[in-house]
Amino acid sequence: MDTTETLATFITSFDGAKIPEAVRAIAVRSLVNWAGCALGGARHPALLNAMTAMRPFVGAPQASVIGRSDRVDALNAALFNGISSHVLDFDDTHMATLVHPSGPVLSALLALAEYQPIDGNTFVEAIVFGIEVECRIALGVCPAHYDIGWHVTGTVGGFGAAAAVGRALKLDAKQMAWALGIAATQAAGLREVFGTMCKSLHPGRAAQSGLSAALMAQSGFTSSLRAIEAPRGFAKVLSTEQHLEKTTEGLGTVWHTLENSFKPYACGLVIHPIIDGCLSLRQQHQFSSDDVKQIDLKVHPLVLELTGKSAPTTGLEGKFSVQHSAAIVTHEGKSQARQYSDAAVQIPAVNTLRSKVQVAIEPGLRVDEAKVTMTLQDGRVLYHHVIHALGSIERPMNDEQVDAKFMDLASNVMTPDQANQALAACRAVGQASDAGVVGRALSVGL
């Protein structure tokens, strides 16, 4: 069987009871992390501008816009929550491919669940199928796919959303293959728009496209049954390399969902080891940012490629600036959402420090590894080698850390009581008779 049909059969036929407990746990942790990020992004101008533009066209109030009182049709909810969950660049990452899996999958699935009740067990399983399929298709085309300029979250996100929704809707295998085909032919998202509001549009559109793909397939809207692997299909057209054996091998026994990782810091993931290093030096040695003469960073090549904006002028650009990140965390001892505001990149002391940051590529370093050397005005030279950044597979955030991150992000729009209730709803979703309760708990009266 070919890739598309193999995946479609897996999504529609695999016995959910055989999903390991550890995989389910990651699905729920993904939900908590995604919901926290969406709450944190609920007042972001990218979301507000998108909502202003779309408001005249929204349909019936079927689903929540997370962190807000608005209720909109499920397709627009998927769009809006996809935007808000990614706009802080704080969401989850499948490191092997750089996919941010939950934005597309959960934004689509929760919108569906509010529109059409889904029991909690089915909901958690659908998350797994969504993330698993999304990461596996990405493995079939990455890294070349990303290297040539595709934002892989935008391109494979629609498959993930379609898989999750298709599983929840109990599509048959042919409908599921069509849904993957409808998602394939809507796959989009260019890295050129990084640093603009369009980056967060990618998971939003992927969620919306994948949700509509599954619904259209259910209504008999046909597509190719070979849209992933065919000569003019997704993998060939959108990548210079194909490894589709990775997409299907070990289906049902190997779970890439286990490799989903969560970010402790609100910036580009490749910057995280540098932040760890700066934080460690700051905590071990007593100095202020004024004492710093120079910061030398040895990094993986992707750091400069993805996050080399040496003179960011907005908070959004700051998230893609290794220089700003090293400077702000050395100055403030934190690297949360507030450290990537428009105001934060304008702080004079931080800008001064930024100009003292030297970044050099060191061949052989992993992407979660970095070496930080701080030279102080008094002549001291401090050094820290970060082997694995916090949030990496080898040093993952645990549930307590992710819950704390949720509470911090939720404080953007919720009282602690509301946030505790919303967190509890996420954590208990597997036992809920109606998973839509999560959406309602994440909705607040802004």
Residues binding a second copy (CB under 8 A):
45-46, 49-50, 52-54, 56-60, 62, 73-76, 115, 148-151, 154, 181-182, 184-193, 196-198, 201-202, 205, 212, 215-216, 218-224, 226-227, 230-234, 236-237
State in angstroms the smallest separation of the CB of 270 from a second copy: 16
Of 28 and 182, CB closest to a second copy: 182
State in angstroms the smallest separation of the CB of 195 from a second copy: 8
Cα–Cα separations (whole angstroms), residue 412 to 27, 52, 346, 405, 438: 24, 20, 22, 12, 18
Q: Is residue 279 a contact partner of residue 262, using CB atoms and an 8 Å limit? A: no
State in angstroms the smallest separation of the CB of 218 from a second copy: 7
Q: Is residue 408 a contact partner of residue 397, using CB atoms and an 8 Å limit? A: no
State in angstroms the smallest separation of the CB of 13 from a second copy: 23
DSSP state of 312: -
State in angstroms the smallest separation of the CB of 150 from a second copy: 6
Of 74 and 98, CB closest to a second copy: 74
Of 229 and 403, CB closest to a second copy: 229
State in angstroms the smallest separation of the CB of 301 from a second copy: 16
Of 231 and 363, CB closest to a second copy: 231
DSSP assignment string, 251-295 = TTTS-GGGGEE--SSSS-GGGHHHHHHHHHHHHHS---GGGEEEE
Taking the mean position of all CA atoms in its chain, how far away is CA 47? 16
Compute the distance between CA of residue 185 and CA of residue 388 in angstroms, rounded to an integer: 37
Task: Provide the residue type at 414 as one letter.
Answer: M
Of 129 and 194, CB closest to a second copy: 194
Of 116 and 375, CB closest to a second copy: 116
Compute the distance between CA of residue 269 and CA of residue 262 in angstroms, rounded to an integer: 9
CB neighbours of 444 closer than 8 A, spacing ≥ 6?
67, 68, 69, 413, 414, 418
